[in-house]
Amino acid sequence: VTIDTVAEKAAVSVATVSRVLNNDPHVGAKYRRRVQQAVAELGYRPNRLARGLRRQRSQSIAAVVSDIENPHFAEMVRAVEDLASAAGYRLIVDNTDESPDKQRRYLQALADERVTGLILSPTDPNAGEISMLLDLDIPVVAFDRQVSDPRADAVVADNTRATAMAVRLLIGAGHRDIALVAGRLDTQTGAERVDGYQMAMREAGLAPRIVDGDFRIVGGQEATDALLRDHTPPSALIVSNNLMTIGALRVIRDSGIKVPSQLALVAVDDPFWAEFVAPPLTTVAQPVRRMAEDAVALLLERVSGARTIPRRSVHPFELRIRSSCGTRPA
């Protein structure tokens, strides 16, 4: 049952059926009713492939993230899907694994299928495919990290302030030797978190102490291990994302070191398990759902043409004090 069947049954042209289906106001009430009835009786559903080909746009949006298993992105994707499907769009998910090559292939595929728009947590912010998509009038919203093409919108968190907040909290609790497990300095997020840390440390006249953990579980584990094996281990630790925190917790547990008495801990990111680990983690949390909602809103503004100038929105982190930092909630 295609649009022709409906047209025949309603005794109108396919053009009229199409207009009714797309809520074109210039259709006579009589015709509209006839079409609606035929649609209902036949159980007609428009073929999205045909519509997409004709419009040169598939009714879908994409979330391109490094790894959906990371609770940060799972939360983001969940929110995006909710809003996208409410707006009539289908959701495509791509995992880049932080590989520029995978990102390249996925962005190319999104162009090939004429996606309506995408939310991209970029692995390679300079990729030519980003510009290619924008050239095709496919809006791109950068998430977490910005991209170099100035036509893209962006939704980011204030990473610099995040680690600075963590440092100040620990200084307030009396710590002076505060180390940072950093992640991927070649990413904006990673670099900004280091910046905030260094700034706050210097401001307090303290020496920064940074180990790289690559934003991954194993990296966090090795970095923490290196710090704790040092003959002068730090008294406090900031871990700059949730995956590295898992690695850090593994080392801490295996080494028998007591948190927070022997080592105070503050983690960036607030995954749902943060309050159930031992001890419950003090975190600086990104408002992930709000950021995702913001990203979809920016995307839909572009799609509808309601806005044409690029927008960048910066969300503040939020301090969630639990017990791992050794400071009690007020």
User: Where on the chain is the footprint of its own copies (CB under 8 A)?
Assistant: 45-50, 52-53, 56, 58, 60, 67-69, 71, 74-75, 77-78, 81-82, 85, 90-95, 106, 108-109, 111-114, 246, 249-250, 253, 271-273, 275-280
Peptide bond into 25 cis (omega under 30): no
C-alpha span between 243 and 66 (Å, rounded) = 12
Q: Which of 8, 46, 233, 257 binds DNA (CB under 7 A)?
A: 46
Q: How far is the CB of 105 from DNA (least distance, A)?
A: 18
**Matching residue, tokens 């963590």:** 166
Cβ-based nearer residue to DNA, 55 or 258: 55
Cβ-based nearer residue to its own copies, 78 or 209: 78
Q: How far is the CB of 58 from its own copies (least distance, A)?
A: 6
58 DSSP assignment: -
Handedness of CA 80, 85, 88, 93 (dihedral sign): positive
Beta bridge partners of 91: 61
Q: How far is the CB of 138 from DNA (least distance, A)?
A: 14
Handedness of CA 71, 74, 80, 82 (dihedral sign): negative
Which does residue 22 bind out of DNA, its own copies, none, counting CB within 5 to 8 angstroms by kind? DNA
Residues 23-42 that bind DNA (CB under 7 A): 25-28, 30-32
- 279 burial type by CB count under 10 A (0-12 exposed, 13-18 middle, 19+ buried): middle
In total, the chain counts a number of residues equal to 330
Count residues near DNA (CB under 7 A).
30
Helix (H) / strand (E) element for 40: namely: helix 29-42
Cβ-based nearer residue to its own copies, 29 or 276: 276
C-alpha span between 282 and 263 (Å, rounded) = 13
C-alpha span between 29 and 23 (Å, rounded) = 12
Which does residue 330 bind out of DNA, its own copies, none, counting CB within 5 to 8 angstroms by kind? none
Q: How far is the CB of 94 from DNA (least distance, A)?
A: 21
Q: Which residues bind DNA (CB under 7 A)?
A: 2-4, 12-19, 21-22, 25-28, 30-32, 44-47, 50-51, 53-56
